[in-house]
Each structure stands twice: as structure tokens, then as C-alpha cells.
Amino acid sequence: MPLIDKATFDELKEMSGADFINELIDTFLEDSPKLIEEIRTSLVINNADAFRRAAHSVKSNAATFGAGQLAELAKELERLGKENRLLETGDKLKALEEAFASVRDELRDLKS
Amino acid sequence: MKTSHEPGQMLVVDDNRLNRLLLTRALEQQGHYVSNAENGRIAMEMLRSRRCDVLLLDIDMPAMNGFEVLEALLTDNQLRDIPVIMTSASDELDRVVKCIEMGAEDYLVKPLNPIFLKARVNASLEKKRLRDEQRKLFHTFATPEVAEQLLREGFSLGGKYVTASVMFADIRSFTSISENQEPAATIEMLNDYFALMFDAITENHGTVNQMEGDGFMAIFGAPVQEMNHRVLAVNAALKMIDQLNLFNAERARQKKKAIRIGIGIASGSVIAGYTGTQHRATYTCVGDAVNAAARIEDYTKIVGRPLLIDQNTSEGLSKEVRMEALGPVMFKGKQQPIQVFAVS
């Protein structure tokens, strides 16, 4: 099963224009590692609000590209941040990173 | 409703770079001019320094979130006309509802659907254009204070009963005047005439709400309530006659014929409210006092007096105003005679 929903991706491509989709993909690939890093830092210093906000952005960006699984994982983290339950993060952050790595590979192939 | 697709000035506010890029791009694709800001504080600075027709606002942002921007916007008289479209994730609709209750115009769910984006942005743009037009209209036909009060308090389209004084005025024998001069001279004369008359009216807190050829209608005591609307209306009429005398003196110097006017004023309960369409809203008054004022104005031709008022109006005036009772007059379409007074 592909990690990126084709219909969502095509709609995005249509809305932004074919030439612009590459710029969007690059932005996503550049920003996501920073946001994941922010989630990690916020976890270390126990800042639930920053944790939630960064997870929210990952979720929003993943949904924009139709990366449903990645969005779900980020949403889970966002919820933990919202409910101030950072200690329950466990291996969820690692799962998020792995999901992002797979999405990244697929997006690179989708670049035209 | 005209669906206008003229470009507008958009401001996109979102802390997420990808969202900013995407929204900016999508709006540019639709022909708009787009600026963007990464938080509410920057957005407010931009709003105060440049034109904005529609604001697309994220809720969750550091340094002034969407709620705070919305609140600042709605309490700012210069910015409150800007329609705000909230952009949010589908799982935060409860917060969107709060924004709509606060006064946001609409919302869009992220990820964006280009068709919804276009439809909602165009609808908001249309509202903005209407508000701009109303603002312009108010500033043309009402005093700055009245215009600001209306814009501040908003206006409902539903009518209500108000006690007010209604004035009708027009130029005597206008047709024969205009037939004896060039069309350009007629327009110039009318422009000078209206400028002088409206000046007298706004000075006395009246609002001109209808113009028809050389005639117009003005209201005193509405939309902004004035307890002494009768006095204001009569003072405005007397000032109009003074202004007209100055105008005629100037015309005499230019060897032009003097113009004469008739003014009728009636007071009472009228139904007042905004009527209109997407593109034009005017303040309208209907009711007995409106009909009476129109009939009394017409009657000035018959008795050859420039200013006539009804009994209700006369009862609110001080004793210094010189009034002469002309007796009851039966007007067409009226069940009862109206007591008419000439004021000089």
C-alpha cells in the first residue's frame, strides 16, 4: 500500500501547479526533520505546548500530501502534548521518524 | 448576485511554512495579490500599514494566536470590515465555532480544497467590496459622525419604528431652467446647489437618503437618534434658504436667473431601516410622515412659500421661530386634513 494517497497528492498538484509541487515537496522534506527535532527537544525539556505545536505541524503537513499514516502518528503525539502526557511518548516518536523516512522516499520519487 | 472575480489583496497568516506557501500559491493562481505573516503580531503590523481585503487566519500560533488577532481586529474601527476566514484542521472545529461566534466570516479546513478555497474567498471578497461601498456611501451622504457610528455599530437590514422628521426639497420650475441653458451648465448648477444644501443638512445632523433629479429627501433623528430632530430639520431648512440666497446673488452677478426651492417637513413615527442588495444598501424611511412631507413640499408651489411644515413638527419648535398657520389642507390619498404652517 502506498504511503501517499494519490488522489490527495494529485489535487495538491493541481491546486499549486505542476511546477510548484517540487517546491512544496522540498519545503516539506526540509521542515519535517526540524519539526521532529523540536518534538524531541520539547520532550527532553518537558514543554508540552511546544511538543503539541510541533506535532500539530507535522500532522498538518503530512495530511497536505495525503500521507495518512504519518499524519495519524503525529496526531497521536499532538494528543499527548495537549493532555500533558509527554511521559507516555515511548517509541511513538521513533515510529514517527520511521514513517517520515518512508514518506520521504516516496515523495522524492513523485518529484517531477 | 454578481460574482466578481476581480483580484483582491489577501493576507495569509500561519506559523506553518508549508501552509503559508501553499495558500499563497493557490490564491495567486486565482489571480489575487498575497502577502503572508508567520504569526499574529506580524500580521497586525501588516494590517495597519497596508490594504487587506480578506484575511486567512490560522488559530494555533505562537506570538498572538488567531483568537487574539480576531479580537484586535474586531475592536479596531479601521480593520473591522476585513472579512476573516479561519483556516484549521478538521479536528479543531470546536475552536472554529468559537471564532465564528466572535465574528469571523467563514472557515476552511486544511488540507485545502481548491474549489472551497475559491468559493469562500470570492464570497468574502464580495462582502468586503460591499462594506467598502457602504463606507463610501455613508461618507458621501451622512456626517462623518453618523457614518462612523453606523460603521461601528453595524446596521441590521430589519426595520424599526423611529420618531423622526422627514424633509423633501426640490427646485421650482427646474424643467424650464434646464431647457434654457446648456446641459453642462445645468449639471454644474446642480452640483453647486446640492453641495450647499447638503452642507446645511449635515451641519444639522440630517442624512440625505434619496436623490431624484433636482429633488432629494433627508431624515433627521434617524439613523442616529436626535431628540430635537424637529428643530434640526427646520434649522437645516432655514440654513438652506440662506445658502440659496447667497447662491442666487452669485448667479445674479453672472446674469443668471435665480432659482427657487420648495421645502416640506413632516414629523412622526416612520419605519426606518436598510434596504438593498449585495451591491448597494441605502437607509430608507417609509410611513405617514414621509408621504406627508412629500405632499407638503408639493403644496409649496400652490401657496408660493418656500418652507412648509406639519403640526407635529411645529410643536417641537421654540417660540422664536416665525410660523404662520395656513389651516388644514386635505391632501390626495390622506384620510384626514393636515395642519400646515409656513415658516419664515
pLDDT in tens, A45-102: 999 999 999 999 999 999 999 999 999 999 999 999 999 999 999 999 999 999 999 9
Interchain CB distance below 8 Å, B112 and A15: yes
Angle at which helix A48-65 crosses helix A92-110, to 10 degrees, equals 30
List of chain B residues whose C-beta atoms are within 8 Å of the C-beta of residue A15: 22, 25-26, 29, 112, 114, 117
| B61 and B151 inside one domain | no
Q: pLDDT value at position B141?
A: 57
Interchain CB distance below 8 Å, B21 and A8: no
| B36 and B111 inside one domain | yes
Q: pLDDT value at position B202?
A: 87
- E strands, B27-150, where? 33-37, 54-58, 84-89, 106-110
Domain count, chain A: 1
Judged by DSSP in three states, B344 sits in coil
Q: Which triple of cell numbers denotes residue B252?
A: 445674479
Q: A58: domain CATH number?
A: 1.20.120.160
Residue B21 lies in a domain: yes
B125 to chain A, closest Cα gap in Å: 20
Does A33 lie at the interface with B, CB-CB under 8 angstroms?
A: no
Rg (CA), chain A: 14
| B209 and B234 inside one domain | yes
Residue A70 lies in a domain: yes
| B118 and B158 inside one domain | no
B73 to chain A, closest Cα gap in Å: 24
Listing DSSP states for B203-258 in one string gives HTT-EEEEEETTEEEEEES-SS--TTHHHHHHHHHHHHHHHHHHHHHHHHHTT---
| B157 and B196 inside one domain | yes
Segment 46-65 of chain A within 8 Å of chain B by CB: 53, 56-57, 59-61, 63-64
Residue B15 lies in a domain: yes
The region of weakest confidence among A33-42, B2-11, B55-64, B65-74 is B2-11
Compute the mean pLDDT over every residue in chain B, rounded to the nearest whole number. 87
Interchain CB distance below 8 Å, A61 and B91: no
Residue B1 lies in a domain: no
Task: Quote the distance between the C-alpha of residue B84 and its chain's center.
Answer: 23
Band of residue B145 on the pLDDT scale cut at 50, 70, 90: low
Quote the domain boundaries for residue A80. Answer: 6-110
Strand order in the sheet with B33-37: B33-37, B9-13, B54-58, B84-89, B106-110
Of B16, B26, B111, the CB nearest to A8: B111
Residue B3 lies in a domain: no
Compute the average pLDDT of residues B168-175: 90
Residue A83 lies in a domain: yes
Domain count, chain B: 2
The HSE-up count of residue B13 (CA atoms within 13 Å, CB side) is 31
Listing DSSP states for B2-37 in one string gives -------EEEEE-S-HHHHHHHHHHHHHTT-EEEEE
In whole angstroms, give the CA distance from residue B240 to residue B242. Answer: 5
List of chain A residues whose C-beta atoms are within 8 Å of the C-beta of residue B110: 60, 63-64
Q: B324: domain CATH number?
A: 3.30.70.1230
Q: Does the pLDDT at position B157 exceed 90? A: no
Q: B84: domain CATH number?
A: 3.40.50.2300
Nearest alpha carbon to residue B241 among B318, B303, B172, B181: B172
| B184 and B75 inside one domain | no
Residues 6 or more apart whose Cβ sits within 8 Å of residue B342:
B303, B305, B307, B308, B323, B324, B326
Residue B185 lies in a domain: yes
Residue of chain A nearest B23, judged by CA positions: A16
Residue B327 lies in a domain: yes
Q: pLDDT value at position B18?
A: 94
Residue A10 lies in a domain: yes
| B79 and B159 inside one domain | no
Residue where one domain finishes, among candidates B140, B158, B189: B140
List of chain B residues whose C-beta atoms are within 8 Å of the C-beta of residue A11: 113-114
Contact predicate B339/B295, CB 8 Å:
no
**What backbone torsions phi and psi does residue B58 show, to the nearest 5 degrees?**
-80, 155
In whole angstroms, give the CA distance from residue B194 to residue B315. Answer: 29
Interchain CB distance below 8 Å, B26 and A15: yes
| B196 and B150 inside one domain | yes
ipTM of the complex: 0.92
Residue B128 lies in a domain: yes
Residue where one domain finishes, among candidates B140, B159, B180: B140
Q: Does the pLDDT at position B131 exceed 90? A: no
Q: Does the pLDDT at position B27 exceed 50? A: yes
The answer to pTM > 0.90 is no
Residue of chain A nearest B61, judged by CA positions: A53
| B52 and B124 inside one domain | yes
Quote the domain boundaries for residue B270. Answer: 143-343
| B65 and B154 inside one domain | no
| B230 and B159 inside one domain | yes
Residue A1 lies in a domain: no
